[in-house]
């Protein structure tokens, strides 16, 4: 591979992006998926994106490379990737369902701006407190998202 990188991405960005692709492909193969060119492309799309992608965004990207791909196929793959833990899904009141790459390096939760969709991670986890759950419920996994308006958006709207 040539060592030429575009000016907009540093060497570490390109490296991080490749790590993300590797990580997603690893999760797919551990879940018994055959790694097709389309699935590799799906991983690439998320690796190159900082924020969230709606199923429509992903479909638009995919259909450029694979004009015959259906929206249903893209959507089904996103849902499955999310169940495998490769993607996190979030629901935005205005934007609907969106996906982004899971952070697997450590456990954290998210503050999400409903205006600009900027996401801040925070380390506090409510599950660390003892929670009195009904009927010997065994927790396998959990997510915690707090929706609000970030500082920059508050300044802009003067609230």
pLDDT of res. 117? 81
For residues 129 and 148, the answer to whether their CB atoms sit within 8 Å is: no
Task: Answer yes or no: is pLDDT of 4 > 50.
Answer: no
pLDDT of res. 159? 58
Would you state the CATH architecture of domain 1-104?
A: Orthogonal Bundle (1.10)
How do residues 20-74 score in pLDDT, each as one tens digit?
899 899 999 999 999 999 999 999 999 888 788 999 999 999 999 999 999 999 9
- How is the beta sheet containing 119-122 ordered, strand by strand? 119-122, 109-113, 145-148
pTM: 0.65
Distance, in Å, from the CA atom of 20 to the CA atom of 102, rounded to the nearest integer, reads: 9
Please tell me the class of the 106-159 domain.
alpha beta
Least confident residue range of 14-18, 42-46, 72-76, 96-100: 14-18
Q: Please name the residues in contact with 117: beta carbons below 8 A apart, sequence gap of 6 or more.
A: 51, 52, 92, 95, 98
| Domain map (residue ranges) of the chain | 1-104, 106-159
- Is residue 2 very low, low, confident or very high in pLDDT (cuts 50, 70, 90)? very low
Nearest to 87 by CA among 132, 53, 131, 59: 53
Classify residue 51 by its DSSP letter.
S
């Amino acid at each position: 591979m040539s060592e030429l990188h575009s000016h907009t991405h540093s060497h570490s960005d390109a490296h991080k992006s490749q790590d993300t692709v590797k990580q997603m492909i690893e999760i797919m193969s551990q879940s018994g998926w055959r790694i097709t060119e389309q699935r590799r492309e799906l991983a690439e799309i998320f690796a190159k994106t900082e924020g969230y992608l709606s199923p429509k965004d992903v479909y638009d990207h995919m259909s450029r490379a694979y004009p015959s791909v259906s929206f249903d196929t893209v959507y089904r793959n996103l849902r499955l990737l999310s169940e495998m833990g490769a993607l996190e899904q979030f629901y935005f009141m205005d934007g609907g369902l969106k996906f982004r790459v899971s952070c697997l390096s450590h456990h954290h939760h998210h503050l999400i701006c409903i205006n600009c969709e900027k996401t801040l991670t925070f380390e506090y986890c409510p599950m660390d407190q003892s929670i009195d759950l009904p009927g010997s419920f065994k927790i396998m996994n959990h997510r915690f998202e707090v929706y609000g308006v970030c500082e920059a958006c508050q300044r802009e709207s003067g609230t």
